[in-house]
Structure 1
Amino acid sequence: MQQSMQQLDIFADSRDVVLRNDVVEQLQRRHAVDARAALTQLASEYPDDSVLPAMTVLVRELENGSNLPLTDHAELAEVRRHLENHVIPAVQQVLPAQDAHAWSTPCWRSLAQRAAPLMFCGNHNENHAAPLWLRTGDWAAATDAVDTIESWWRIPSPLAWMTEARYRAAGLDAAWPLFAELAWLAPSRFAALIAGLRDASLDALRRRFDADFSGTGEIEDYMWFPALRAREKQWTSAGALKMLESAVCGVSIRSAEKVDRATV
């Protein structure tokens, strides 16, 4: 009899775990109706459960999903902030770490599709479909989205998006001319991008540059990163050096033009 009572106590203690797992299972299946039913059951038996608010956010996200095109950049910004500030933290709290990215990817994909009709706007330069496609890992879609922006290679944000898409899809050698262009056009974006990519060879080059380059110590020093590394041949392969030639030539020409303007 004592053993049976212990078993009942264990079951009672784990009832909340069972109900939480029911909600998680339906969330992972993206079944809004079943997830709501499981959440309601958990809330009725354990109204003070600490994970209820986060689970509620995720269930509502499934219930309120929309495929309607966004009408303006402000609306896109609002939906994006909701995902960043509420949905993603809830995903990280509720779901196993290995499942969090897979669950959030459809949310970003849906938002990217809804944002497709919006043209690039300098006043809302982060509210565009391209960076949303990057979040989903669809490098081809991100590339296509950037290609819709006129003269994207002259604008820091689209150039950074295209650089990342090219790097993710084809590797460092293929993307290096874009890295060189970005370093000259927007050194701060270049530095932020290479930090976020966590590429071992890029990180090694950056450490070497930081240690050796006698600049001002400001972020603008990074405009010389590609040219200096090409000259010193501190790169990963002969193929990368060959692809650098045109980009570095362009950087050198623009550098000379900058000096000429400064001396006039």
Structure 2
Amino acid sequence: MRNQTSDTHAPIHPAPDTTRTRRSLRATRAGRRRLVIAGAIATAGLLAGTGFTVKSAVDTQQRVEATAAITEATGLHRDQLGAYATVAEAKAIDTAKDTLAVAQTALQAADGKVDASGLASSVASLGDYERLPLGSLVDLTRQTKEQAAQAAAAAAEFDRAQAEQAAAAAAALAAANTPDGAKAYARDLAASQYGWGDDQFQCLVNLWQKESGWNYQAMNASSGATGIPQSLPGSKMATAGADWQTSAATQVRWGLGYIAGSYGTPCSAWSHSQSVNWY
């Protein structure tokens, strides 16, 4: 006879609340789905939307990953995602067109100044931007943009150096064109080319002080004699340089040659001038 009081049973647990469990699972799945969609949308932001960048949009690997993420998260077919590729291609073409215009301007600026053969080659290739594969188009656009910037910078540096040289030359010319500058040049040239010392130079100072006051722009209104040495006509001084009208140094070179050929020394020319009032 069984002992009723000793009969044992497995512990009795309350029945699970299946409705609450299903709701919890749905909420969890929905949350995960929202995270996936949000990540997919963020990834898709590389292809379209605010902050769009062509480089990111057309990168092949990123486009593949973005497309896969959107497909998984939204259930859209790949052919429904073609708009992203279309936008990327349009953006890349617009960028290439703009870059081409900038590069052509840089080529013009660099012409005759710096070697821009690499940029010229890239510009020629980028001219077919409407027919280039998307990946090649982006790479070529980036390369052309970099080369254009380098060429423009090199051309600007060339122009700056040329401007500095021109300014220095102008300053030197202006200094040489003063009476003191002309005298200093004449002293050096008289000694180095003709072997005339300070005594001869002093005669030269006296002679040309009387003739023109060492003013390269001096002109005798009655005779037409011109410049520091009072050449008659002034165009004779062109044998010493085409800039004879604007350069005291050119006038001095011609004048010293004239004195050496006609009088032998400045003191002989000065003596003649004192006697007859001309030389």
TM-score when scaled to structure 2? Answer: 0.24
Say which structure is richer in helix: 1
> Which entry has the higher C-alpha Rg, 1 or 2?
2
